[in-house]
Chains A and B, each alone.
Chain A
Amino acid sequence: MMAAHWVWLAVALPLAGFLVNGALALHRDAPKLAVSIVGPGVLLAAFGVCLGIYQGLLAQPPHEPHIVPLWSWMPAGALQVDLAFQVDQLSGVMLLVVTGVGSLIHLFSVGYMREDPGYARYFAYLNLFIVFMLVLVLGSNLPVLFIGWEGVGLCSYLLIGFWFTDKANADAGKKAFIMNRIGDFGVLVAMFLLWRELGTLDLAQIAARAPGALEAGGAIVTLITLCLFLGCTGKSAQIPLYTWLPDAMAGPTPVSALIHAATMVTAGVYLVARTNVLFAMAPVSSAVVAGIGAVTALFAATIALRQYDIKKVLAYSTVSQLGYMFVGVGSAAFAAGIFHLVTHAFFKALLFLGAGSVIHAMHHAYHATHAHDDAQDMRNMGGLRQHLPVTFWLMTLATLAIAGVPPLSGFFSKDEILASAFARGAEMPVYYLFYAFGVVAAFLTAFYMARLMVMTFLGENRTGTEERRHLHEAPWIMTGPLVVLGVLTVIGGVINLPTFAGGHHALETWLEPVTAPSAPFARVELPHGSTELFLVGGAVLIGVLGLVLGYRATLARRVVPARESPAETGLARVLHRKYFVDEIYDAAVVRPVVWLSRVVLWKGVDQGVVDGAAVNGTAKLSRGLGWVGSRLQTGQVGVYVVLFLVGALWILRAVIR
């Protein structure tokens, strides 16, 4: 029996964990030990299953995905939707990332969330998230993928609003869900179009039929891919639907690491890679994907320059890095997009968990002294290097990786994306512009990361004299996962080493069976020789320059604790307030819709026109007619005689004529 057939177990394990933890969560004093064993335990077991499956794939790389049907889900005539999983090279990679990074973050959470009263509920949600994420990457047809797609959104909603007594958190959760739904609308419409045009929603069938049934570069395939991409902008926080992700930082920090950095938000990149043949057939859509990605990468990086909340910086950084991934898949370099997805999962999870470790320490310090300062504001930090040495060094590695310093993982993956965009420029010159955006964003990335590190770990400590004594490194259950992620951050590039570094693009070769259908329509020829070295050297130089300038500029500024900081002015204020996009959306969309619904539709149409005029009007009319009728019954014979005569004459006239 193929190892792939055990894939259901990888889903069933976290599902069982969800049920157990969920049941425990309903009890007022849930046994913490049981939760601590079940929660991460099922994940580690699932990771083991996935390793076994991957082993099987390595032993016998399949040309077509293994389909594991579970049961018939929605049979309706020609439309036969099965609840089925597919195991191939791409879902194999995703399985390892989701369960591997997921396991580490579950372990970290044991330490981070230990004192929270909602401990069992937290792990129930986290387990459920893994279930849906696995369904997303395993679904063999779009509706099943969509179960996972919306399910991860649900868990994101539940976990963002985890501390729901605070209205802001609940609002952030709702915002995330609704913005994702706007994107999901696009995915639904794409499914309708695919069903009409191809008569199937099966991913393998779509790849097989699309080249014959759809006109390459035609309006239909362009529309389908744009609709799919609308879903990606929601799930993966790209312009215009990105504003929920920074707000999503209201959730617990390990959630930010798992859902809002390493896995869920990369689902859009996965979807594009999964439907690569459609995007390859639609060059206009691909350019839109790459263009939106490039603009988002740059735009979000500028906002990150001026944030003080350590998690907000990382959130905008994630939006920006996701933009890079879309530049990759939009340049038909699907493997490069997935490559950056994997390395980003390593170094961004490390950064978030590191930030979690910092916040954990800050929180304890403030808690011990009963202070009410913001434990996430970098202006209250500084000099933490002495207190959290492990966290500091590991985050430094991640910073070098995201800045693209060789030979760390981020260097290889980011480089490959920029090179792909550059290569596409030969066919469509607009890609040169996307490349330029990417380079500038790379500089800004290095700059804001250096700023983050300096403000947090270097210089004078600004936490407070009393509080400083309580700052300490996190327990091993938290630093352990950090160390593992640190190792992966350093060596992660090895999975897809380019030729100049002695490799042979292993990941790209591995994913070839998945990306093969797109090859006839769009293929990237990466630059070689001097061009390649020039591009690589330039990118490294830009990254290092950003780090150095960011380091010096931040160190030179005198930072004061948040409480004493003056309000921002000018351009800094615009950046700090995120270009006022939230305010613009609120004024342009939310308020008008609510006003339309309340004043025009409900009070106006419903109560005014339909009920007021039509329904109750009819009632009044009948009453009025009754009144007229009753007035006629005067009881005076004379009136009757006159009326009778008038009537008789009128009839007579009609008869004679």
Chain B
Amino acid sequence: MTEFLDSVGYGQWILHLLIVLPLLGVVPVLLGPESSAKWTALVVTILELVLSLGLWWALDSSRGTLQLVSNTPWIPNWGISYRVGIDGISLVMVLLTTLLMPISVLASWRYITNRERGYYALMLTLLTGLVGVFIALDLFVFYIFFEVMLIPMYFIIGVWGGANRLYAAIKFFIYTMAGSLLMLVAIVALVWRIQSVTGTISFSYDQILTNIGVVGSLAPWLFAAFAIAFAIKVPIFPFHTWLPDAHVEAPTAGSVLLAAVMLKIGTYGFLRFAVPFFPHVALSPAVSRIVVVLAVIGVIYGALVAMVQPDIKKLVAYSSVSHLGFVMLGIWGGTLQSVQGSLMVMISHGFSTGALFLLVGMMYERRHTRLIDDYGGIARVMPLFSLVFTVVALSSIGLPGLNGFVGEFLVLVGSFGAFPIATVLATTGVIFAAAYLLWALQRIIYHRLDNPENERMPDLDRRELAVMVPLLIGIVWLGLYPAPVLRRMEPAAQRYLQLAQPTRAVQPVAVRGSTVEVRP
């Protein structure tokens, strides 16, 4: 496979194509007839998925450095260049994105019935933004992609959302915007500060990483700005209240992408930028304590609040707060196991929660209600749906043998050394997760079917199966054989750990080559 990819020069063009292809797809979507918009979007997203798969082999998994890096000057006077590249961490996030995109398009098939052209054009724009965020290696470019994906989502919620969509969309927008503006200020301050010392202006990730030592006393403020921006995105308690509203109002595909991919931009931001830039601040005892406490609060609080939600979509939304708490704990756990675990939770949560939102969407399309109490006993009329729902719920609960367990286990086992009490408290999350999901599952699919409206619910059709099967395969595969994925990510996780040393050398050093030299 590697030889074939080399022979077509895959590594040279693939990242650019992944960014441009969806934007090119927007043109036929907008110009073509309304009825063909979804077909065009499906073709483009599947093409994007197929093309992206080659990245698995194109990445040299023996190295943890950023690879396939390419650099094109954009605004040279300000040191801005279009600079992209990937490592094992970006790789899995990009693949997660490209996999979920065609699934999301298929999930919108019948759900979106008005202004389809606009909707699918926005979906494709969103795809560009999401891929871009994970491969950008220039902070200005990163910021642009960060915004690019915010705006389509705002419209997807605000135009195609539920009854209270405007409140939710504006809340989502202002929350995220507040964070991203803080981040913009921090980026500019960072670049300006480095320029004032070294004399060169550059938004390049590598340059900043190398010269970060000169930031000095500004570091805590800059870290705070980055951290708040990403914390809102994750979301970390208490910045999470935009999430339930946005999820409940968003159309199914919006919820899927929001949960499965967009939340991960927050944790990715910590792994890529906030912690490696400012390790001595981020990993200082005081900051660590705050983050770990908030992470554990997220795990338990999210689970407990999820338990009492009457609205199934809100329940899934709060469960995200709980799962992402594990990711944060793992990042600060600071061992290879905990960081690998965090990455696995990020992937697994994409599969499980994405699948849960899809299933909730299927229920909603049939009955137009999200209240758990309106269901009950549907296992009798929808056996296939109930089977899938059960497997997905068990995956989210973290049943060993399915995907959810691997990440949570690695996070906990890896964090226990540094934060024993917090880890034990977070472990209680496994009990609450079982409580809220099994209780909901029971009230939806079990019991007597006593509402006549539920009698007529048809079981999953072919399209819906096509949507669920890839995710189910992922759920079982990642649960039983996550080793290839773990091995792919390990060098990048190692490199992250080398960067995330609170005592890392802080003198500016000149950059050699296109990748960062890591000093022990």
List chain A positions with a Cβ less than 8 A from chain B. 25-26, 71-79, 83, 143, 146-147, 149-151, 154, 157, 161, 164-167, 170-171, 173-174, 177-178, 181-182, 184-185, 188-189, 191-193, 195-196, 593-594, 596-598, 601-602, 605-606, 610-611, 614-615
Q: Is B449 an interface residue (CB 8 A)?
A: yes
Given A75-B490, A143-B400, A602-B305, 13 additional A-B pairs, CB 8 A: A76-B341, A76-B414, A76-B486, A143-B409, A165-B446, A189-B427, A192-B420, A597-B307, A601-B304, A605-B301, A610-B238, A614-B238, A615-B241
- Least CB separation from B306: chain A residue: A597
B399 touching A597 by the CB < 8 A rule?
A: no
Q: Which residues of A contact B448 (CB under 8 A)?
A: 165-167
B430 touching A76 by the CB < 8 A rule?
A: no
Name the contact of B305 in the complex, choosing from A78, A185, A601 (C-beta under 8 A). A601
- Least CB separation from B339: chain A residue: A76
Given contacts A77-B336, A147-B401, A164-B446, contact A181 B434 (CB under 8 A): yes
Shortest A190–chain B CB gap in Å is 11
Q: Which residues of A contact B308 (CB under 8 A)?
A: 594, 597-598, 602
A165 touching B447 by the CB < 8 A rule?
A: yes
Given contacts A83-B480, A165-B380, contact A192 B394 (CB under 8 A): no
Q: Which residues of A contact B242 (CB under 8 A)?
A: 615
Partner-binding segment picked from B97-105, B149-157, B265-273, B435-443: B435-443
Shortest B309–chain A CB gap in Å is 8
Q: Which residues of A contact B449 (CB under 8 A)?
A: 165
A596 touching B304 by the CB < 8 A rule?
A: yes
A192 touching B399 by the CB < 8 A rule?
A: no
Tell me the complex Cα distance, A173–B394, Å. 14
Q: List 22 A-B contacts (CB under 8 A).
A: A74-B410, A74-B482, A76-B341, A76-B486, A79-B337, A83-B480, A143-B409, A150-B399, A150-B401, A164-B445, A165-B447, A167-B446, A173-B442, A178-B434, A185-B431, A188-B427, A192-B424, A192-B427, A196-B417, A602-B309, A610-B240, A611-B241
Q: Which residues of B contact A596 (CB under 8 A)?
A: 304
B401 touching A593 by the CB < 8 A rule?
A: no
A184 touching B410 by the CB < 8 A rule?
A: no
Name the contact of A192 in the complex, choosing from B401, B416, B431, B447 (C-beta under 8 A). B416
Tell me the complex Cα distance, A25–B390, Å. 15
Q: Which residues of A contact B490 (CB under 8 A)?
A: 75-77
Q: Is B189 an interface residue (CB 8 A)?
A: no
- Which chain B residues in 386-440 approach chain A with CB under 8 Å? 387, 394, 399-401, 406, 409-410, 412-414, 416-417, 420, 423-424, 427-428, 430-431, 434-435, 438-439
Given contacts A76-B410, A181-B434, A596-B304, contact A192 B423 (CB under 8 A): yes
- Least CB separation from A603: chain B residue: B308
Q: Which residues of B contact A25 (CB under 8 A)?
A: 383
Shortest A21–chain B CB gap in Å is 13
CB contacts between A and B, total, < 8 Å = 143
Q: Which residues of B contact A73 (CB under 8 A)?
A: 480-483
Q: Is B377 an interface residue (CB 8 A)?
A: yes
Q: Is B384 an interface residue (CB 8 A)?
A: yes
- Least CB separation from A195: chain B residue: B413
Given contacts A174-B442, A596-B304, contact A164 B434 (CB under 8 A): no
A72 touching B305 by the CB < 8 A rule?
A: no
B430 touching A181 by the CB < 8 A rule?
A: yes
Q: Is B487 an interface residue (CB 8 A)?
A: yes
The 6 A-B pairs of least Cβ separation, nearest first, read A77-B336, A192-B416, A597-B304, A598-B308, A164-B446, A170-B446
Q: Which residues of B contact A76 (CB under 8 A)?
A: 336-337, 340-341, 410, 414, 486, 490
Tell me the complex Cα distance, A73–B487, Å. 11
Write out, one digit per residue, whether chain B residues 357-389 have a CB within 8 A of any chain A CB (1) or not (0): 000000000000000000001011001100100
Q: Which residues of A contact B400 (CB under 8 A)?
A: 143, 146-147, 149-151
Given contacts A74-B409, A146-B400, contact A161 B480 (CB under 8 A): no
Q: Which residues of A contact B504 (CB under 8 A)?
A: none
Most central of A25, A150, A193, A611 by chain B CB within 10 Å: A150
Tell me the complex Cα distance, A196–B415, Å. 10
Shortest B442–chain A CB gap in Å is 5
B424 touching A189 by the CB < 8 A rule?
A: yes
Tell me the complex Cα distance, A83–B431, Å. 25
Q: Which residues of B contact A26 (CB under 8 A)?
A: 383-384, 387
Write out, one digit per residue, whether chain B residues 330-355 have a CB within 8 A of any chain A CB (1) or not (0): 00000111001100000000000000
Shortest A599–chain B CB gap in Å is 9
Q: Which residues of A contact B238 (CB under 8 A)?
A: 610, 614
Name the contact of B447 in the complex, choosing from A83, A170, A193 (C-beta under 8 A). A170
- Which chain B residues in 268-282 approach chain A with CB under 8 Å? none
Name the contact of A74 in the complex, choosing from B384, B417, B483 (C-beta under 8 A). B483
- Least CB separation from B387: chain A residue: A26
Tell me the complex Cα distance, A77–B496, Å. 14
B416 touching A196 by the CB < 8 A rule?
A: yes
Tell me the complex Cα distance, A188–B445, Å. 30
Q: Which residues of B contact A182 (CB under 8 A)?
A: 431
Q: Is B171 an interface residue (CB 8 A)?
A: yes
Shortest B429–chain A CB gap in Å is 9
Tell me the complex Cα distance, A76–B413, Å. 11
Tell me the complex Cα distance, A192–B335, Å. 13
A184 touching B413 by the CB < 8 A rule?
A: no
B483 touching A72 by the CB < 8 A rule?
A: yes
Tell me the complex Cα distance, A189–B421, Å. 10
Q: Which residues of A contact B337 (CB under 8 A)?
A: 76-79
Tell me the complex Cα distance, A420–B383, Å. 52
B394 touching A154 by the CB < 8 A rule?
A: yes
Q: Which residues of A contact B412 (CB under 8 A)?
A: 188, 192
Q: Which residues of B contact A611 (CB under 8 A)?
A: 241
Given contacts A71-B483, A151-B399, A165-B446, contact A188 B305 (CB under 8 A): no
A195 touching B438 by the CB < 8 A rule?
A: no
- Least CB separation from A599: chain B residue: B308
Shortest A602–chain B CB gap in Å is 5
B304 touching A164 by the CB < 8 A rule?
A: no
Q: Which residues of A contact B480 (CB under 8 A)?
A: 73, 83
Shortest B33–chain A CB gap in Å is 39
Tell me the complex Cα distance, A178–B171, Å. 36
Tell me the complex Cα distance, A72–B487, Å. 11
Shortest B284–chain A CB gap in Å is 23
Given contacts A143-B409, A147-B401, A189-B427, contact A601 B483 (CB under 8 A): no
Tell me the complex Cα distance, A123–B438, Å. 22
Q: Which residues of B contact A597 (CB under 8 A)?
A: 304-305, 307-308
Q: Which residues of B contact A72 (CB under 8 A)?
A: 483
Q: Which residues of A contact B309 (CB under 8 A)?
A: 602
Shortest B346–chain A CB gap in Å is 15
B304 touching A593 by the CB < 8 A rule?
A: yes
Name the contact of B486 in the complex, choosing from A74, A146, A184 (C-beta under 8 A). A74
B417 touching A610 by the CB < 8 A rule?
A: no
Tell me the complex Cα distance, A143–B439, Å. 26
Shortest B326–chain A CB gap in Å is 13
Q: Which residues of B contact A171 (CB under 8 A)?
A: 442
Tell me the complex Cα distance, A177–B12, Å. 52
Q: Which residues of A contact B336 (CB under 8 A)?
A: 76-78
Tell me the complex Cα distance, A26–B385, Å. 11
Q: Which residues of A contact B305 (CB under 8 A)?
A: 597, 601-602, 606
B430 touching A185 by the CB < 8 A rule?
A: yes
Tell me the complex Cα distance, A195–B308, Å. 35
Name the contact of A170 in the complex, choosing from B380, B394, B434, B442 (C-beta under 8 A). B442
Name the contact of A601 in the complex, choosing from B175, B301, B406, B424 (C-beta under 8 A). B301
Tell me the complex Cα distance, A149–B405, Å. 13
Shortest B88–chain A CB gap in Å is 13
Tell me the complex Cα distance, A102–B383, Å. 27
Shortest A162–chain B CB gap in Å is 11
Shortest B217–chain A CB gap in Å is 28
Shortest A407–chain B CB gap in Å is 43
A181 touching B409 by the CB < 8 A rule?
A: no
- Least CB separation from B310: chain A residue: A598
Tell me the complex Cα distance, A184–B410, Å. 16
